[in-house]
Structure 1
Amino acid sequence: MVETLSGLQQNETFDVVVIGAGGAGMSAALFAAIEGARVLLVESTEYVGGTTAYSAGTTWIPDSMHGPSVNPDDSSANAEAFLRRAVGERSSEALRRAFLAAGPQAVAHIEANSDVKYRARPFHPDYLSELEGSTLRGRALEPLAFDGRKLGKHFALIRPPIPEFTVLGGMMVDRDDVGHLLGMTKSLKSLRHAVKLLARHACDRMSWPRGTRLVMGNALIGRLLYSLLARNVTVLVSTKLEALRTGANGSVDGITLSQNGQRRQIAVTGGVILASGGFNRHPQRRSAMLPGVDPSWCPGAPGHTGSAHDLALAIGARYGEGALSNAFWAPVSVRKRKDGTTAVFPHFLMDRGKPGMVVVNQAGKRFLNENTSYHLFGIAMQEAHRQSPCVPAYLVTDAEGLRKYGLGMVRPGGKGIAPFLADGYLTRADTLDELAGKLDIDPRGLTDSVARIDEYAQTGVDADFQRGATDYQRANGDANWPGPNPCLGPIGRAPFYAVRLYPGDIGAATGLASDQHARVLGRDDQPIGGLYACGNDMQSVMGGVYPGPGITLGPGLAFAYLAGRDAAACAQTASAARTSSAAWSEPADVSPQRAKEKIFR
């Protein structure tokens, strides 16, 4: 049930309290509720869903019940060996094993006991596909589409997707829908699919502010919310965590919440699970941990302020160490919307890895492999920037590239670009020299970079950065490209276009140090009683490495399962102890003889 803080009593008791209603937090609340716990879910913003609602909803869980449908040869042992090679000593091997063991159990348990449903993506390679133990399919799960109309008035609670990822005023589309919409004039199957989508959306807009067919991250959040409400989990939005209360033994046994001038003390018997999204918008910690990265480049949801971390650190928690990076990254482009808000568009896979695209720095030179994973792309931008200005970098294509693949917020087709040109998001020129002049980059460097790309498109071999050399990279190229390398094509048909790219942090990799049960560790490496962390509040089990799709949501689900069940079990133990204590207690005026009789009865 969705409540206001004033609807709760002072010192009201819950078995489990979860702070943060993103994918991990909602999952933790659901797992605890499945165990029979009385659960309170607290969200600081007006929406549930966090950054998960913006995402593709991909969840990396090796050896799940769905994996064999597309890859019967994979195993947990393969995944463990892969992670050992990819992550190594950047995270605890014991934690990785806990994740690999809990992940399949979490998927099976949540599907058996809720409306959350997944399927294996037929083809979704691990990002570090060159490493032994990687797979092309089976580990990446995606949520099934969800009918938001089932939520009724509570549909409005779900954080809407990034507008630039929708079409026709709020119609969500996934990667399959995009293919059908682009191919509707070429295939009867695609035409049928597109007509069905459009008809559904037209009906939706007669009664709803946006499309109610939810896909990707919105589908996952919709399914979680529907399941939480069915289990009578109490949900508070626009509510701030002000304090963590500890008892005489140092364990967390209560919290203080505030909302619209109201304040309540809440007692907690089982545990508090922190899933507030990480430190990324914490004003001091961001500048220290992500130096030089403007907050306006972050495409994540606004709730990850790190304020819950302040409270945890104050009672003895500590951050984990050893990660490759404090955050996960993606190249982003930025544009001001008409309403004054900032649109931040992550360039995951639709443009930069396609034929006819090149990324250059301010000297007009290539400095990375355009087809590398978005995380490594963001890291490479920052590392190269220390030597030569690479922020912003420039994603350049020609008329054919723009028409076929689009460019950031500019969709494929090459139409409707006037507003993007007018506000400077998109730059156009009739020659490469003119484009370089408009971008204030070295024209000789740009011309040389394009000439080299044209040469590599002919040979199929990128002698500079080995673009298209791995299965993952080729998967993000164009499978229909006639050249020898699906990632390399010439750039020669005027006019030429460019957008500016920045390193955008898409989530925290550094978080609170925790153990195999998601219990937060103190400075003495012992668990702080009653305090758990999952999602981006927990130190990344991937050690700041991004080995495959969904490696934040996958561990988020697995450790939500461990935290939610453990906290619920602690609440049951505490309840049993209270019951036992009450059964053995006697009023003060009971005689010694009667007390003796009761003991031996």
Structure 2
Amino acid sequence: MSNVVWEREVDVLVVGAGAGGMAAALSAHLGGCSVLLVEKTDRVGGSTAVSGGAVWAPMNRQSEGAGHPDSFDKAWTYMRNTVGDAAPAEMQRAFLEACGPAIDALEQHTQVKLAARTYSPDYYPDREGAALGGRSLDPLAFDGRLLGRHFRELRDPLPEFVVLGGMMITLTDAKHLLSVTKSFASWKEGMKLVLRYFADRLRGYHRGTRLVLGNALAGRLFMSVLERGIDYWLNAPLKTLQVEDGRVTGACIEHEGRPTWVRARQAVVVATGGFPWNAALREQLYPHPTGPWSMSPAGNAGEGIEIANAAGAALGSDHFGPAFWAPVSLLQRPDGTQVRYPHLVWDRAKPGLMAVNAAGRRFVNEATSYHEFVLAMYRSNETVPTIPACLVCDSDFMERWGLGLALPGGRPREHLVRAGYLYRADSLEALAAQLQIDAAGLRESAARFDGYGATGEDPEFGKGSTEYNRYLGDADHRPNPCLGPLRKAPFYAVKVYAGDIGTACGIRCNAQAQALDAEGRPIPGLYATGNDMQSVMGGQYPAPGITLGPALTFGWVAGRHIARERSNTPSSTQAAAS
């Protein structure tokens, strides 16, 4: 018998208030379970709240209406052509079979509302089974005012992805704002955004209440938690799991400054966001060189994975890679803090941007996915220093598109030059000297690249050669939306590092999201979802939304399975009433 004195009892304890954790809490609650949701930090939302918010869910009910009818055979073919054997086939199949129903259930029973993209190619559109739209969904904008006093408990978006000090915008919004002086329609849309934002600030909100992207998804899930009366604790980290006779029966949670033992009659769900900020695990599992370059919240330090591992859960293996990569530029502030900017979808694919290594040579199709871009950095780095790599552009590009934290349209950027973030020079040779890369290589690479802009063909790396490339380019630019001139001084550059947006290596689970031991047996009472779960993508990145899609899916699956197990337990009714 245990000597633990339980101070709180529930059916289900969910650890971590990101998309996976909140989906599990909602699913279990809707299945009749009492639920306590605990979050290590002082904010709800986790990585979801600072993400782009895309959800990859093949065969969702909106696919056909979006103009892209889907099928299991087509989606399965694409998974096998991208993920392959990097993740167990049974887990890939389980995701594809459950993702559509899970999204449908969330939309039916919670505040989650998503819209399928009519045009958003999978990241490898030339591989059999790929779709050009329909599979990725975006959360609809959400009015943060509906959260009332709880609005301040929702994690804020990254400061680098808001304008005017707190106004969230989408890519479409950004295009309107950049064109307010060129188009009446854009002026109208831009004014609506700005007036709403200023009205929010006048009413005393600390930021804009029009939530989009991942912040909208987190806000919608949080609103659902509040509406359902699910109890939650903030500033409440997991300290240890209690295991009795091979079953996880609860956990010690630090609550209000002291250890509090919470009994979980049915299960504990671990969803703490993976380990990107665990220096020891990163050093052990990441390729080298690596560093503190993650875009995930700093609270995602791997405690959930480590504590589950100590309770007998096995880590996954045979994955292609341990993380989901993104090139990240770094700004050191005068106070010693660091700003990390992920170069995801805005600048790399636009016409006129070139990426080079220390030899001044291109090494990648700049318009490829952020994940593939970093993989190319690591491959190139085996022979030529490529971490950091350099993104290079000319003055016309800078004024049109901007580069990382350097904004377009003549906005101030001298402070970025002084801080050593943005490099600027009147010649490519002088720029190379500042970057400490080979000047001759840079000059020759730029001359070839400039020529590709004129012909519209990139024979070296094929920038602009796929539907995905062109989707992120400039549709109005000819002959290739991703290739343009690189010739007008001054020239600019930023250095980018091998960053990530989350980890792919986690707790090995089965199709019900139950944690497995080293022999592959389910551990009674222990589940995992989100980035604490070994990714069903195996460290590959087939499409936008392949972290949030599985997180929501397996969170929902976990809660539903727990609720069914509870209903099948003869003593469940008496236990719930005790």
Query: Normalising TM by the smaller chain, what interval?
Result: over 0.9
Alpha-carbon distance between aligned partners in 1 of 2:379 and 2:296, rounded to the nearest angstrom: 22
- 2:199 aligned partner: 203
Contact 1:59 1:550 in 2 (8 A): yes
Letter in 2 for 1:534: T
Structure 2 equivalent of residue 247 of structure 1: 244
Deviation of residue 23 (structure 1)? 1.3
Unaligned runs of 5+ in 1: 1-8, 584-601
User: Which of 347, 353, 371 is matched with 2:349 structurally?
Assistant: 353
What is the alpha-carbon distance in structure 2 between the residues aligned to residue 397 and residue 539 of structure 1? 38
Q: Is structure 2 residue 485 aligned with structure 1 residue 507?
A: no
8 Å Cα contact 2:394/2:490 also seen in 1 = yes
Residue 16 of structure 1: SS of its match in structure 2? strand
Q: Is the 8 A contact 1:102 1:561 kept in 2?
A: no
Cα distance in 1, alignment partners of residues 334 and 235 from structure 2 = 26
1:256-313: CA deviation from partner (whole Å, max 9, x where unpaired)? 1113431111111121111111122223211101143544311111121111212111
- Shift of the 296–129 alpha-carbon distance from structure 1 to 2, 3 Å rule, reads same
Partner residue of 1:577 out of 559, 562, 571: 571
Which residue pairs with 2:264 in the alignment? 268
Which one of 115, 128, 132 corresponds to residue 132 of structure 1?
128
* Amino acid across the alignment from 2:86: R
Q: Which residue in the other structure is 1:227 paired with? A: 224
| Greater Cα offset, 32-41 or 497-506 | 32-41
The answer as to 2:542 corresponding to 1:529 is: no
Counterpart check, 1:103 vs 2:99:
yes
Distance, in Å, in 2 between the alignment partners of 1:498 and 1:518 is 44
Matched, 1:215 2:209: no
Q: Distance in 2 between matches of 1:581 and 1:49?
A: 31
Q: Matches of residues 188-337 of structure 1 in structure 2 within 5 Å?
A: 188-206=184-202, 207-248=204-245, 250-337=246-333
- Secondary structure class of the residue paired with 2:440: helix
User: Counterpart of 2:446 in structure 1: which amino acid?
Assistant: V
Q: In structure 1, how many angstroms separate the alpha carbons of the residues matched to 2:350 and 2:575? A: 68
* AA at the equivalent of 1:505: D
- The residue number in structure 1 matching 2:396 is 400
Inter-partner Cα distance in structure 1 for 2:257 and 2:169: 40
Report how far residue 91 of structure 1 moved.
1.1
Q: Are the counterparts in 1 of residues 122 and 468 from structure 2 also a CA contact under 8 Å?
A: yes
Matches within 5 A, 1:13-162: 13-162=9-158
Residue equivalent to 1:379: 375
Report the counterpart of residue 551 of structure 1 in structure 2.
Answer: 546
Aligned to 1:564: 559
> Aligned AA for 2:138?
E
- Shift of the alpha carbon at 1:251? 1.1
**Bigger Rg, structure 1 or 2:** 1
Partner of residue 419, structure 2: 423
Map 1:423-502 → 2, pairs under 5 A:
423-482=419-478, 484-502=479-497
Q: Which amino acid aligns with 2:463?
A: R
For residues 76 and 202 of structure 1, the distance between their equivalents in structure 2, rounded to whole angstroms, comes to 47
Moved more, 376-385 or 219-228: 376-385
User: Which amino acid is the alignment partner of residue 135 of structure 2?
Assistant: R
Output one character per residue of 1:292-336: Cα deviation in whole Å (capped at 9) or x when no partner.
Answer: 354431111112111121211112211111111110100010112
Mean CA deviation greater in 111-120 or 63-72: 63-72
| 8 Å CA contact retained: 2:277, 2:292 | no
CA distance in 2, matches of 1:489, 1:186: 22
1:433-481: per-residue Cα shift (whole Å, max 9, x none)?
1111111111100000001101222222212112222111111111111
Q: Tell me the distance in 1 between the aligned counterparts of 2:129 and 2:145.
A: 42
Deviations 1:101-146 (A, max 9, x none): 1111111111111111111122111001110111111001000111
Q: Residue by residue, what CA displacement relative to the aligned partner does 1:223-282 show, whole Å, maximum 9, x if unpaired? A: 11110011111111111111111122x111111111343111111112111111112222
Do the aligned residues in 1 keep the contact of 2:327 with 2:499 (CA within 8 Å)?
Answer: yes
Q: CA deviation at 1:338?
A: 5.5
Please tell me whether the aligned partners of residues 130 and 470 of structure 1 are also in contact (alpha carbons under 8 angstroms): yes
- Conserved in 2, the CA contact under 8 Å of 1:16 and 1:571? no
Provide the C-alpha distance between the structure 1 equivalents of 2:520 and 2:295, rounded to a whole number of angstroms: 33
Partner of 1:303, secondary structure, is coil
After superposition, the Cα gap between the structure-2 partners of 1:440 and 1:582, relative to the gap in structure 1 and judged at 3 Å, is closer
Please say which of residues 214-223 and 189-198 is displaced more in the overlay: 189-198
Q: Which residue does the alignment assign to 1:588? A: none
Offset, 1:415? 2.0
Could you tell me how far apart the structure 2 residues matched to 1:293 and 1:153 are?
44
Query: How far off is 1:68 after superposition?
Result: 1.6
1:179 to 150, 175, 195: 175
Offset of 1:337 from its aligned partner?
A: 3.6
Letter in 1 for 2:224: S
Asked if the contact 1:274/1:534 (under 8 Å) is kept, the reply is yes
Alpha-carbon distance, 1:201 to partner: 0.4
1:188-219 deviation per Cα after TM superposition (whole angstroms, max 9, x unaligned): 22111111111110011121111111000000
Conserved in 2, the CA contact under 8 Å of 1:125 and 1:471? Answer: yes
Give SS of 2:453's match: helix
2:512 paired residue number: 517
**Distance (whole Å) between structure 2 residues aligned to residue 506 and residue 489 of structure 1:** 29
Code of the residue aligned with 1:540 in structure 2: it is S
Q: What is the SS of the residue equivalent to 2:292?
A: helix
| TM-score for the superposition, normalised by structure 2 | 0.96
- Compute the displacement of 1:380 (Å): 1.2
d(CA) in 2 for partners of 1:184 and 1:74? 38
**Cα shift at 1:365:** 0.8
Instruction: Give the distance between the partners of 1:373 and 1:533, measured in 2 at CA.
Output: 28
**Percent identical across equivalent pairs?**
45
Could you say what secondary structure the match of 1:395 adopts? Answer: strand
Structure 2 counterpart of 1:389: 385
Relative to structure 1, the CA distance from residue 578 to residue 187 in structure 2 (aligned partners, 3 Å threshold; closer, same or farther) is closer
Is the CA contact (8 Å cut-off) linking 2:10 and 2:265 kept in structure 1?
yes
The answer to whether the 8 A contact 1:125-1:135 is kept is: yes
Query: How far apart in 2 are the matches of 1:121 and 1:75?
Result: 17
How many angstroms apart in 2 are the aligned matches of 1:343 and 1:580? Answer: 53
Instruction: Check whether the contact 1:201–1:211 (CA below 8 A) recurs between aligned residues.
Output: yes
Change (3 A) 1:369 1:42: same
1:22 and 1:442 map into 2 onto residues whose CA distance is 44
Distance 2:360 2:551 in 1: 40
Partner secondary structure for residue 26 of structure 1: helix
| Secondary structure in 2 matching 1:269 | strand
Note the C-alpha offset of 1:360: 0.6
Counterpart secondary structure, 1:285: helix
Deviations 1:169-199 (A, max 9, x none): 1000011111111122222221111111111
Looking at structure 1, the residues matched to 166 and 372 of structure 2 have their Cα atoms a distance apart, in angstroms, of 31
* Whole-angstrom distance in 2 between the partners of 1:531 and 1:293: 34
Contact 1:276 1:304 in 2 (8 A): yes
Q: Is the 8 A contact 1:55 1:216 kept in 2?
A: yes
Per the TM alignment, residue 63 of structure 1 is displaced from its structure 2 partner at its CA by: 1.0
SS in structure 1 at match of 2:36? strand
Q: In the alignment, residue 176 of structure 2 is paired with which amino acid?
A: H
1:411-431 Cα shifts (integer Å, max 9, x gaps)? 221321111111111111011
**Structure 1 residue 52 displacement after superposition:** 1.0
Deviation at 1:569? 2.2
User: 2:193 and 2:345 mapped to 1: Cα distance?
Assistant: 23
